[in-house]
Amino acid sequence: MTTVAAEPNRGSAVSEKRAPAASPSIMTPRQVVGRIGFYTVIALATAFFALPMLWLLSTPFDDTPGLSISVPDLTLNNFRDLLDNPYALGSLVNSIVLAVGTALLVVVFAALASYSLSRVKIPGRDMLLYALLLLSSIVTGTAAMVPIFLMMFELGLIDSQIGVIMVLSGGLLPAAIFILKDFVDTIPKSYEESARVFGASSFQILRHIVVPVIRPGLATIAVWTVVNVWGNFLVPFILLRDTDKQPAAVLMRTFYTEGGAPNLALISTFSLLYSIPVVLMYLFVSRKYGFRFHGGIKS
């Protein structure tokens, strides 16, 4: 009984003590200035990131597109101009082909590789993974562009979308394997052993158990690959000669007027179309699977 009676007393004592500090009405001038400064910085930072977005949303519908943001004189003429361009829509299709192709290749190979790397013990496995991760940034980077070009030339894969997909996959795979291995590592061994006792082959275990369990990881990898390929300029720019095959990111650089000035009407409109598929895919995948960058099993 005594403890029950004591509880409320102690509770009120605590709230009394806390009350002055928690109340916003009593702030020192110093706190007020600090608060104002804080919000000013936040507002400036927000504006810095928001302005390009606003430009992207408003300029395509502006009759006189410029580099400043203004209330647009609404028009859809820019879109008509864009449709008149013989390569615009085709390049978006090319982008999709490259992105989807690379994503498929990366997901399939990363799933196989991460499963085996997670389950087979080889000496220096972690070193190998780190080395791959380090080197991968070179493969798709500028440094290795000349040897890669020569290699693709020897293989007869210049001006071929398959060649681009292969190079991009090679560059993205190590990081994908690295992320996926973490997912596979969290699958208890007993799952696989149980399946093995029932007679499942390694391939069946991968298909029936590992892949379904790491599905959020696979979705993350797929989206991450698509985003990477979608924004990649250098590799397709160098490996693809034919304008018909070039993806959106490469084609955009051709949008100049005869006078040599950037054609802002085309660029802004095209940029808007170019960003929509990525945003849509992000929303879809995030709703369906949720993004996770680490493994783990809910049980």
Shortest Å, Cβ 39 to another protein:
44
Contact 62, 72 (CB under 8 A): yes
Distance (Å, rounded) from C-alpha 88 to C-alpha 246? 10
C-alpha of 227 from chain center: 4
Find the part of the chain contacting another protein (CB under 8 A) among 43-51, 83-91, 163-171, 187-195. 187-195
Q: Is 16 exposed, middle or buried (0-12, 13-18, 19+ CB in 10 A)?
A: exposed
Distance CA 81, CA 72 (A): 17
Taking the complex as a whole, the smallest distance from the CB of residue 291 to another protein amounts, in Å, to 18
C-beta closer to another protein: residue 28 or 190: 190
- 296 sits near another protein (criterion: CB under 8 A): no
Of these, 96, 195, 273, 285, which contacts another protein (CB under 8 A)? 195
Number of residues that bind another protein (CB under 8 A): 21
Cβ–Cβ under 8 Å, residues 227 and 278: yes
**237 sits near another protein (criterion: CB under 8 A):** no
Question: According to CB under 8 A, which one of 8, 24, 212, 260 is a site residue for another protein?
Answer: 212
Instruction: Confirm if 236 and 249 have CB atoms less than 8 A apart.
Output: yes
Which of 18, 35, 80, 196 lies at the binding interface for another protein (CB under 8 A)? 196
The C-alpha atoms of residue 289 and residue 63 are separated, in whole angstroms, by: 41
Counting contacts by CB under 8 A, is residue 190 touching another protein? yes
Question: Looking at beta carbons only, is 158 or 211 nearer to another protein?
Answer: 211
Give yes or no for residue 123 binding another protein (CB under 8 A).
Answer: no
Smallest CA-to-CA distance from 107 within 186, 167, 172, 160 is with 172
| Residue ranges in contact with another protein by CB under 8 A | 188, 190-191, 193-201, 204, 208-209, 212-213, 215, 297-299
